[in-house]
Chains A and B, each alone.
Chain A
Amino acid sequence: AQSVTQPDARVTVSEGASLQLRCKYSSSGTPYLFWYVQYPRQGLQLLLKYYSGDPVVQGVNGFEAEFSKSNSSFHLRKASVHWSDSAVYFCVLSGGDYAQGLTFGLGTRVSVFP
């Protein structure tokens, strides 16, 4: 069975500060990892994805994530947040086939204040 853990339910940061959201995964097969963002009353939007290769992947809006097989982690980072980054962020795992689709973490709610 595969699983995703996002240990931080809520994160509050000041505008302009850096942000790191943690994600740990468990997968018996090759992990395909995603970060999605959900703005209020909207669906999920893809920020970035990792399949293989360079463990640091770049995404939209200045986000990047680093994959670590040894740590079973896929942490998300942004150097300088904007108030519009306030949203819920989901770390998501695909086991490589369509069985049960994607496995979601519970999400981290990010609040950016001026």
Chain B
Amino acid sequence: NAGVIQTPRHKVTGKGQEATLWCEPISGHSAVFWYRQTIVQGLEFLTYFRNQAPIDDSGMPKERFSAQMPNQSHSTLKIQSTQPQDSAVYLCASSSGGANSDYTFGSGTRLLVI
């Protein structure tokens, strides 16, 4: 079990460019979550999927952020027209399902927008 895999580990983009972040959840886990981590705000919920269906995206900045889960083996977080304030560590987590399930986190993608 390789755990939750996130790629790339680091990404540098120029202001206004697009960034796509990838997450491969643990095989068999039905729920996938995206979080953003910054020093100022801490860990913020962005969105989650259950059985590939988007369930709650209330944490997503609406205009430039989107997330998809085209199959059970990966999810993507896309940021269009990146801004310096998007610089953060983006963490993906997966869970086997159920209210008392463990959440397994990936190592994160460190995004720097310059």
Contacts and interface: CB of A to CB of B under 8 A. Distances in A.
Q: Do A and B interact?
A: yes
A98 B58 contact: no
A101 B100 contact: no
B102 interface: yes
Contact of B105 (A43, A96, A97, A106): A43
B102 A46 contact: yes
A51 interface: yes
Contacts, number: 61
Interface residues of A, number: 25
Contact of B100 (A32, A45, A102, A107): A32
Contact of B91 (A43, A94, A96): A43
A98 B31 contact: yes
Interface residues of B, number: 26
B13 to A, nearest CB: 19
Given A44-B91, A44-B105, A49-B102, A106 B42 contact: yes
Interface of A: 32, 34, 36, 41-46, 49, 51, 90, 94, 96-107
Interface of B: 4, 6, 31, 33, 35, 42-43, 45, 48, 50, 55-56, 58-59, 91, 93, 99-100, 102-108, 110
Nearest 7 pairs of A and B residues by beta carbon:
A43-B105, A104-B43, A44-B105, A43-B107, A106-B42, A96-B99, A101-B33
